[in-house]
Amino acid sequence: MSSEISIDDFKKVKMVVGTIVSAEKVKGSEKLLKLQVSLGGNVVKQSVAGLGSFYAPDQLVGKQYVFVTNIKPAVLMGQVSEVMVLAAVEGKDRVALICPDNKIADGSPVT
């Protein structure tokens, strides 16, 4: 287990529900997928995630997941990643993306 954080530290992380509107493999990478994510209010941002070993791009399109939206952008294989999709990871062989249990508006906060 990691060290404890305060509720104020937790509140700094902005998590919202978003819908993946498009997904494709990143050229030159076996693992990276480039996702376009609707975050509500006509806001679409890009996420680059190491999900290619676990999901085909077409498995993700149209589905809602939880995203961290105030993370510092990173460049992976020449692609800018502006938001991070949350996932549970079990070992090296299992990944489960975090999703709401029913449809909810894009941009809805996760608290």
Q: How much is the pTM?
A: 0.93
Encode pLDDT of 57-84 as tens digits: 999 999 999 999 999 999 999 999 999 9
Spatial distance between the Cα atoms of 46 and 104, rounded to a whole number of angstroms: 20
User: What is the rounded CA–CA span in Å between residue 108 and residue 89?
Assistant: 24
Is residue 107 situated within a structural domain? no
Count of domains for the chain: 1
Domain span at residue 52 reads 9-97
Q: What is the dihedral of CA 45, 48, 49, 55, to 10 degrees?
A: 80
CATH number of residue 21's parent domain = 2.40.50.140
pLDDT at 1: 63
The partner residues of 18 in beta bridges, in order of sequence, read 65
Rounded Cα distance, 5 and 103, in Å: 30
Quick check: is 106 in a domain? no
Give domain status of residue 105, yes or no: no
